[in-house]
């Protein structure tokens, strides 16, 4: 055998070992998630959201909704937030220097007037031009500020907020009525220990909404958002649940998360110079707590649901995933000293390696793997069984993992009652591994290249609106 053949064989072996390890990790996380979800469902039988609603010790919450050019949907979104079932809460809409009539629409609909409320810039932000209060709805505040991005808007909202907990939400997402009651549950169980909780994000495409509330759950007509439904099941129900069980959850979705305000202020708030500000904040909170020799309990709660619109075109999807990959890279490398560092406990030894070696590197390894195995087989460096094993992992395991996640959803929440929808999701779980995932591998690979070249743009997300 020539040196090249030996090299190809060695790389093929390493890639196979990598995929074997990745698959084992996912199965391990799945098993953890399965038992975690089961335990959670059993515990849920013994407490209800209504009890938390009536209890006087339920902590008050400030809901912060950054809004940029949302004039079409902002009113219905605000009404749906105000209609949430919860005790004491306020809704803070932060108008991030919109170029359209977002602020005027809000002023008109909610009879806003400027207030003398003091602005405490505990976290530095871009200029806050005015703080408005609704004359018709006592718990609605609108902050008008210069454009600074989502992170800057969230920081402004934190500065204005009255309450010890804040909930970050995207203005174009829709929460279910009891979502806030459910996401606050871990704080009720262990207030002094819990720092943040994250809920489940579901794909709204195909569902019917009335006044910002989901009234019927259906799968979308198009296949692209259907693939994303399955993907979200994998990410949230299998992935995040498992990491939460290990006490090292590294990301709370920016679309729906509940945080204790004080630790976030002490950590300096959201970073405005990176695109993955949601993940980076959580990593920083872990780091901050470890340095104080305590633990940031960051918990995933699978019940509370946030409905969000998934991209329906390949172009918008690729922008989104490109941004997510860059955000992941930025967040990881901002705290690279935590990687495999035992000082940071399970965060450094499990979660950081998971995100770095699997979530971050896998597009590159998979992409290279296709070429290496093709070349190795052609040159006779590996036999057909090795090639079959590679494709089993690259594609076959993906099908299995998607089906497992779908089954998890069916056993626990069963939100798609229609058999036709279930059949579509099963097909999506299979078909997504023949083209869709490979496309995302390419997009994420490009994301890595863009990150390396210092690209910072968010890219425009076109939405129909819920």
Q: Where are the beta strands (DSSP E) in 54-193?
A: 61-67, 89-96, 112-114, 128-134, 140-145, 165-169, 174-175
- 37's CB contacts (< 8 A; 6+ apart) are 237, 241, 302, 408, 412
Cβ–Cβ < 8 Å for 94, 127 = no
Q: Closer to other proteins by CB, 23 or 320: give it.
A: 23
Footprint (CB under 8 A) of other proteins, residues 163-202: 185, 187-191
Nearest distance from residue 385's CB to other proteins, in Å? 5
Q: Closer to other proteins by CB, 194 or 235: give it.
A: 194
Give the Cα separation of 395 and 256 in Å (integer). Answer: 31
Cβ–Cβ < 8 Å for 466, 309 = yes
Q: Which one of 236, 259, 307, 393 is in contact with other proteins (CB under 8 A)?
A: 393
Number of residues that bind other proteins (CB under 8 A): 57
- 54's CB contacts (< 8 A; 6+ apart) are none
Binding mask 125-154 for other proteins (x = CB under 8 A): -----x--x-x-------------------
The window from 13-21, 223-231, 279-287, 288-296 that contacts other proteins (CB under 8 A) reads 13-21
If binding is defined by CB under 8 A, does position 115 make contact with other proteins? Answer: yes
Q: Closer to other proteins by CB, 247 or 396: give it.
A: 396
Helix, strand or coil, per DSSP, at residue 139: coil
The window from 57-65, 146-154, 249-257, 270-278 that contacts other proteins (CB under 8 A) reads 57-65
Q: Closer to other proteins by CB, 189 or 273: give it.
A: 189
Nearest distance from residue 372's CB to other proteins, in Å? 13
Give the Cα separation of 223 and 426 in Å (integer). Answer: 12
Please report where in the chains the tokens 């990176």 appear, as a residue.
274
Q: Which one of 251, 404, 425, 466 is in contact with other proteins (CB under 8 A)?
A: 404
According to the 3-state scheme, what is the secondary structure of 70-84?
CCCCHHHHHHHHHCC
CA distances from 168 to 175, 328, 363, 368 (A): 11, 19, 30, 38
The window from 17-25, 98-106, 321-329, 438-446 that contacts other proteins (CB under 8 A) reads 17-25
Q: Closer to other proteins by CB, 130 or 316: give it.
A: 130
The CA-based diameter of the chain, rounded to the nearest angstrom, is 82
Burial class (CB in 10 A: 0-12, 13-18, 19+), 252: buried
Q: Which DSSP letter does residue 445 get?
A: H
> Which helix (H) or strand (E) element contains residue 233?
none
The window from 9-17, 149-157, 265-273, 456-464 that contacts other proteins (CB under 8 A) reads 9-17
Nearest distance from residue 25's CB to other proteins, in Å? 12
If binding is defined by CB under 8 A, does position 17 make contact with other proteins? Answer: yes
Q: Closer to other proteins by CB, 144 or 312: give it.
A: 144
Answer left, alpha or beta for residue 72, where phi above 0 means left and psi between -120 and 50 means alpha: alpha
Nearest distance from residue 175's CB to other proteins, in Å? 22
**Residue ranges that bind other proteins, judged by CB under 8 A:** 1, 3, 6-7, 9-10, 12-13, 16-17, 20, 23-24, 27, 42-43, 45-47, 51-52, 55-59, 113-118, 130, 133, 135, 185, 187-191, 382, 385-386, 388-389, 392-393, 396-397, 400, 403-404, 407-408, 410-411
């Amino acid at each position: 055998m020539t040196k090249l053949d030996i090299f190809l064989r060695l790389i093929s072996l390493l890639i196979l070992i990598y995929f074997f390890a990745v698959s084992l990790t996912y199965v391990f996380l799945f098993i953890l998630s399965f038992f975690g979800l089961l335990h959670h469902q059993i515990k849920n039988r013994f407490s209800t959201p209504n009890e938390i609603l009536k209890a006087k010790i339920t902590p008050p919450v400030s809901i912060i909704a950054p809004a940029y050019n949302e004039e079409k949907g902002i009113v219905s979104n605000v009404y749906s937030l105000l209609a949430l079932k919860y005790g004491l809460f306020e809704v803070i809409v932060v108008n991030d220097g919109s170029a359209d009539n977002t602020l005027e629409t809000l002023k008109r609909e909610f009879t806003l007037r400027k207030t003398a409320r003091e602005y405490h810039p505990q976290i530095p932000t871009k200029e806050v031009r005015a703080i408005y209060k609704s004359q018709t709805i006592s718990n609605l505040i609108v902050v008008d500020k210069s454009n600074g991005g989502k992170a800057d808007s969230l920081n402004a909202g934190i500065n204005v907020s009255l309450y010890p907990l804040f909930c970050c939400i995207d203005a174009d997402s829709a929460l279910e009525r009891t979502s806030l009651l459910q996401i606050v549950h871990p704080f009720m169980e262990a207030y002094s220990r819990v720092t943040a909780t994250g809920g489940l994000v579901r794909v709204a495409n195909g569902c019917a909404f009335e006044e910002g509330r989901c009234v019927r759950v259906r799968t979308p007509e198009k296949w692209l958002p259907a693939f994303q439904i399955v993907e979200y099941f994998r990410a949230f129900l299998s992935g995040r649940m498992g990491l939460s069980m290990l006490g090292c959850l590294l990301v709370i979705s920016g679309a729906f998360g509940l945080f204790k305000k004080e630790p976030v202020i002490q950590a300096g708030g959201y970073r405005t110079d990176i695109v993955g500000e949601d993940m980076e904040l959580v990593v920083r909170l872990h780091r901050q707590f470890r340095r104080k020799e305590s633990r940031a309990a960051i918990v995933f709660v699978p019940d509370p649901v946030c409905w969000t619109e998934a991209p329906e075109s390949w172009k918008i999807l690729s922008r989104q995933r490109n941004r997510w990959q860059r955000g992941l890279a930025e967040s990881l490398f901002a705290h690279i000293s935590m990687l495999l560092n035992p000082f940071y406990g399970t965060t450094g030894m499990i979660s950081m390696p998971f995100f770095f070696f699997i979530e971050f590197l896998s597009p590159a390894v998979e992409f290279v793997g296709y070429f290496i195995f093709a070349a190795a087989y052609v040159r006779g460096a590996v036999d057909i069984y090795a090639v079959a094993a590679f494709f089993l992992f690259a594609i076959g395991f993906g099908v299995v993992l998607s089906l497992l996640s779908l089954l998890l959803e069916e056993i626990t929440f069963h939100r798609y009652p229609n058999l036709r929808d279930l059949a579509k999701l099963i097909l999506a779980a299979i078909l997504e591994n023949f083209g869709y995932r490979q496309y995302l591998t390419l997009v994420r690979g490009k994301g890595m290249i863009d990150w390396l070249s210092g690209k910072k743009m968010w890219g425009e997300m076109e939405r129909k609106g819920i």
